[in-house]
Amino acid sequence: MGQFIYLDNAATTKTAPEVVEAMLPYYTEKFGNPSSVYGFASANKEAITAQRDIIADALGAKSNEIYFTAGGSEADNWALKATAEAYAEKGKHIITTKIEHHAILHTGEYLESKGFDVTYLDVDEDGIVRLEDLKEAIRPDTILISVMYANNEIGSIQPIKEIGRIAHEHNILFHTDAVQAFGQVPINVDECHIDMLSASGHKLNGPKGIGFLYIRTGVKIRSFVHGGAQERKRRAGTENVPGIVGLGAAVSRAVRTMEERSAKESALRDYMIERVLEEIPHCRLNGHRTKRLPNNVNFSFRFIEGESLLIMLDMKGICASSGSACTSGSLDPSHVLLAIGLPHEIAHGSLRLTLSDETTKEDIDYVIGNLKEIVEHLRKMSPLYEDFIKKNS
Ligand SMILES: *Cc1c(COP(=O)(O)O)cnc(C)c1O
């Protein structure tokens, strides 16, 4: 990677060169509006259909069940708000989890303010939903279950097939935020009884600002953006043709490389987990040991502030992410780490590293070497650590 080691692929990924190459003509000679009548522009309609086919194939879905959006957040908002509205007569209860992305959690809060009742399921200490809890939460007025496929912070993969089956048996719609999982693990919407699925281009080496919502045929879902007749009148606006072409190219690439990529990434992930747990004391792995995304590692180091760790890693050219939401101006630890039962002080010392197919063993060795030094250095300055050592010596 040259100047720095980028281990924040859950935040965003580098757009693959073949994706950029596929997009470029749609900014220049193929710039036309797909709704126009003349040939050079209306040809873009076929280009869009071709991308829909690629995405539908990747999910075992039908082409006309794929609706392009401006990313994962929009797809999540759409799935929740529009089904809530369309099914309000049947009931006003929605079930989701405490570890969802804010695009789901804040939409849930919004719906509560509009008179809906939202249950936020707890998860176990590995960040996985307990099926008994889900069954118990179901009510006669439950209209929607939304559970993320894989968590963006701790990488835990949910028992999506079982959740889908439960939803299906109770005749409740099932939505999954698959923004982290799509392109990393194989997904089939029929096998998992998924009625709606959100995904995003920039999490799978595609462009930012483009994503899609899969909506199963027969789901009554309202138009999200009113205007023109694009996306079968459900999401108006001139299509983001370069973005859609980029998304299609990224999905093709992800499908083609998935097996090899995930084998390589999970081997490096496991190597890192083993070494860090063995070589750094007072450290724990967050998330399930095996039911986790191939590229996700998340540790908590006791007696340490995640923010200081990030700054010192940055000085060594390492890009990572912590467990606190300091970007939003608050120093509250991550809702995900609290949901798996970590006390505040341990959640604060968390570090997320998310690999890409460009990550090498040398990168990982460099990161571990620096991590050991930085953790030791920060602990030397920690009064809590000093107390702990005194008490235990
Ligand atoms: C990144 C992410 C989103 C939001 O996607 P955008 O395309 O950035 O809007 C939603 N859910 C999960 C799990 C994510 O990781």
pLDDT tens digits, residue range 206-226? Answer: 999 999 999 999 999 889 899
Mean pLDDT of 366-384: 96
Confirm or reject: Cβ of 180 under 6 Å from ligand 1. yes
pLDDT at 330 over 90: no
Domain spans of the chain, in order of start = 5-11+258-392, 17-254
Q: What is the CATH number of domain 17-254?
A: 3.40.640.10
Confirm or reject: Cβ of 155 under 6 Å from ligand 1. no
- Report residue 383: phi and psi, to 5°: -65, -35
User: Which residue's C-alpha comes closest to atom 6 of ligand 1?
Assistant: 72
Amino acid symbol at 25: P
- Give the Cα separation of 174 and 148 in Å (integer): 10
- Give the Cα separation of 119 and 135 in Å (integer): 12
User: Which residue's C-alpha comes closest to atom 12 of ligand 1?
Assistant: 179
| Catalytic one of 192, 283, 319, 326 | 326
Outline where DSSP puts E strands in 206-322: 211-215, 283-285, 296-301, 318-319, 321-322
Q: Which residues contact 42 (CB under 8 A, 6 or more apart)?
A: 32, 34, 35, 36
pLDDT at 325 over 80: no
- pLDDT for the residue numbered 148: 98
Cα–Cα distances in Å, from 278 out to 29, 91, 301, 372? 56, 51, 13, 11
147: left (phi over 0), alpha (psi -120 to 50) or beta: beta
Sign of the C-alpha dihedral, residues 257, 273, 284, 313?
negative
CA neighbours closer than 13 Å in the CB half-sphere of residue 110? 14
Going by the DSSP 8-state scheme, the letter that residue 334 receives in this structure is P
156 and 287 Cβ atoms separated by less than 8 Å: yes
Q: Catalytic annotation on 319?
A: no
Ligand 1 centroid–CA 71 distance in Å is 7
Confidence band of 1 (pLDDT split at 50, 70, 90): very low
Confirm or reject: Cβ of 73 under 6 Å from ligand 1. yes
Confidence band of 332 (pLDDT split at 50, 70, 90): confident
Contacts of 159-168 with C-beta under 8 Å, sequence gap 24+, read 159/128, 159/129, 159/131, 160/192, 160/194, 161/191, 161/192, 161/193, 162/131, 163/129, 163/131, 163/134, 164/192, 164/193, 164/194, 165/193, 166/131, 166/134, 166/135, 166/138, 167/193, 167/195, 168/193
Amino acid symbol at 295: N
Average model confidence (pLDDT) across the chain: 95
User: Which residue's C-alpha comes closest to atom 10 of ligand 1?
Assistant: 72
Confirm or reject: Cβ of 352 under 6 Å from ligand 1. no
- Is the pTM higher than 0.75? The answer reads yes
**Which class is 5-11+258-392 in CATH?**
alpha beta
